[in-house]
Amino acid sequence: MNLQVRDVEVEAAGTESLPLMGNEAIARGAWEAGVRVAAAYPGTPSTEILESLAGYPASDLYADWSTNEKVALDVAIGAALSGVRAICTMKHVGLNVAADSLMSQSYIGVHGGLVLIVCDDPGIHSSQNEQDTRLFAKLAGVPVLEPSDAQEAYDFTKLAFELSEAFDTPVIVRSTTRLSHTRSLVRVGSRKVPAPKGFVDQPTKTVTIPANARRLHPKVIEREARLAKFLEDSPLTRWEKGDTRFGIVTGATSYLYVKEVAPTASILKLGTAYPLPDETIKAFAASVDRLIVVEELEPVLEKEIRGLGLAAEGKAFFPRIGEFSPELVRAGLAKAGLMDPAPAPLSLDIEPMARPPVLCSGCPHTATFLALRGLSARVAGDIGCYTLAAVEPLRSIDTTVCMGASIANATGMSLSGTETKPIVATIGDSTFLHSGIPPLIDAVYHKANITVVILDNGITAMTGGQDHPGTGRTLRGEPAPRVDYEKLCRAVGVESVRIVDPYEVGRLYQSLREAISTKGVSVVIARRPCVLDPVKIKGTALAVNAAGCVACQSCMNLGCPSITWSDEVHEGRHKVKIDPASCIGCTVCAQVCPSDCIQPVH
């Protein structure tokens, strides 16, 4: 096998430079690489990749949201097996959902290039955990490329398709929040589309029954060895010679922090975390007195390097949790005795204002969770904007595990026989389509006594307002078939289905009470559009008649950011006021006000 990979730096040198975020650079690289099919499920920090790809002509590529990450990867796999280049994007927890397909596809290989972009979230900026995709790559036996900046994000994405086809393997390009959302100039080129190859008609390779899989597994191991040999002289592996007192092995965004803090050090920059160029690493280690590994999250590189019999040091000085920074890297090197610690920062003695996350003014989910709290329900929550109802003042969610877990969690609570409270599962419309339907079927099958509340705000709100099969629109805004949630629920055996507008607070309470008292599985669809996406909704603002306000705090229990304390006091408690600029006029606060002092502004 003779793969001619051009120097990445030279290949990238085009006539045009664009200011691109890392996600936009990945999209540009994929488009230039000739991608014909792109699929994803939105998830921060990966969302903008598919949105950017959809900005290129529809005649160039098909790009749209899938119902979940496994479906997205399966779509991309089908396209690759049909002989065109395909890409699938997701955040790190999305790879958990897609893992089943990835593990088998590693055995099968590809026909057209198949690239997965997986965006990790060190520091847990917008996720339920921080996990390290490099561990998944090794488990699956597929290479993972780690760009450091937007230019490399563009370069490595293009290169990933070449590697995929040359080595007959899916390839993961791993980004992180910092890279995905940092903007810099990127030298770009033009689009080049490989000729479609047609479907690969080879069942012994593409059908993973045990007899075929046994023959394919040794090829995965042999492929790993060939990839490792390729990396020894690849531009993905860069040895920057410097001070030999210590050498640093690093990659991804950590490389930039190392260069800023220790510009004269000897550095081995690895563009891949799996497999590794073992011989180059050994030679680098022999050239320095101490070998330090700087990597975010898990000690993936450190353990692999120690496995080569080398005295690598890393997590003794750097944490396994959180996002790195130049200051953190400097502190770690100082702890290792390799440089002086940074001067103590000047204390400005300023106490930052606490700004807890809250639902938006007029969010349709607010009244639903207020009602569930009032009904003293045991609530299994899910992943979405509404997860904010777990904190004060709504404080009405008891569990949140992962996408689609709420209904099955509620089923388990019911089957345990220990819960005395009404059991309710809450799940958003997009999350329900993502992974809520199978557990709903399971709940009906097991005759669980639970109520499922589908929070239908008509959009994938948490990640910025993306469409899905329940919105009736595609990513490009074209009309599409729309899921009917009521018919779907009835089709799987739910007999009690109610649809209610959460702005009608009295009817909402009544519907929830009736659903909770129904034996078996009942469903309440709380339907009201998101107040921000796809367009911002604003009606007549409300105001508080201060003379009538008795400072009862009923409206404050909503946690609406438009409602704040005023300077006026009643019986030792502050009255409230409403910000007319942010109030959207949902009237929920007026409906819960016992003194009828909240009225529209005339």
Q: Which domain holds residue 455?
A: 365-527
Report yes or no on 347 lying in a domain.
no
How big is the CA angle at 471 (ends 466 and 476), to the nearest 5 degrees?
55
Exposed, middle or buried, 416 (CB in 10 Å: 0-12/13-18/19+)? exposed
| Domain CATH number, residue 243 | 3.40.50.920
What pLDDT score was predicted for residue 487?
A: 97
pLDDT tens per residue across span 485-516: 999 999 999 999 999 999 999 999 999 999 99
The answer to whether 260 and 342 have CB atoms below 8 angstroms apart is no
Report yes or no on 187 lying in a domain.
yes
- Number of domains making up the chain: 4
Q: What mean pLDDT, rounded, does the chain reach? A: 93
| Domain CATH number, residue 106 | 3.40.50.970
- Single out the residue in 167, 197, 232 at which a domain terminates: 232
What pLDDT score was predicted for residue 568?
A: 85
Report yes or no on 353 lying in a domain.
no
pLDDT tens per residue across span 294-342: 999 999 999 999 999 999 999 999 999 999 999 999 999 999 999 888 8
- Ligand-binding site membership of 88 (annotated): no
- Single out the residue in 474, 503, 527 at which a domain terminates: 527
Report yes or no on 344 lying in a domain.
no
Please tell me whether residues 272 and 404 are part of one structural domain. Answer: no
- Ligand-binding site membership of 530 (annotated): no
- Ligand-binding site membership of 589 (annotated): yes
How big is the CA angle at 10 (ends 20 and 164), to the nearest 5 degrees?
75
What pLDDT score was predicted for residue 8?
A: 38
Report yes or no on 192 lying in a domain.
yes
Mean pLDDT in residue range 472-481:
93
What pLDDT score was predicted for residue 574?
A: 86
What pLDDT score was predicted for residue 422?
A: 96
Please tell me whether residues 13 and 48 are part of one structural domain. Answer: yes
Cα 583 to its chain centre, rounded Å, is: 30
Angstrom distances, CA of residue 463 to CA of 44, 48, 384, 483:
6, 10, 9, 20
Please tell me whether residues 100 and 243 are part of one structural domain. Answer: no
Residue 221 has pLDDT above 50, yes or no: yes
Beta-carbon contacts of 472 under 8 Å, excluding residues fewer than 6 positions away, are 479, 480, 481, 482
What pLDDT score was predicted for residue 86?
A: 98
| Domain CATH number, residue 569 | 3.30.70.20
Report yes or no on 537 lying in a domain.
no
Report yes or no on 59 lying in a domain.
yes
Using the Cα atoms of residue 15, residue 20, residue 24 and residue 29 in order, give the sign of their dihedral. Answer: positive
Report yes or no on 357 lying in a domain.
no
- Ligand-binding site membership of 593 (annotated): yes
- Ligand-binding site membership of 586 (annotated): yes
Residue 13 has pLDDT above 80, yes or no: no
- Single out the residue in 527, 556, 585 at which a domain terminates: 527
Mean pLDDT in residue range 148-176:
97
- Ligand-binding site membership of 552 (annotated): yes
Please tell me whether residues 52 and 115 are part of one structural domain. Answer: yes
473: its two tokens: 């629109």
Please tell me whether residues 44 and 168 are part of one structural domain. Answer: yes
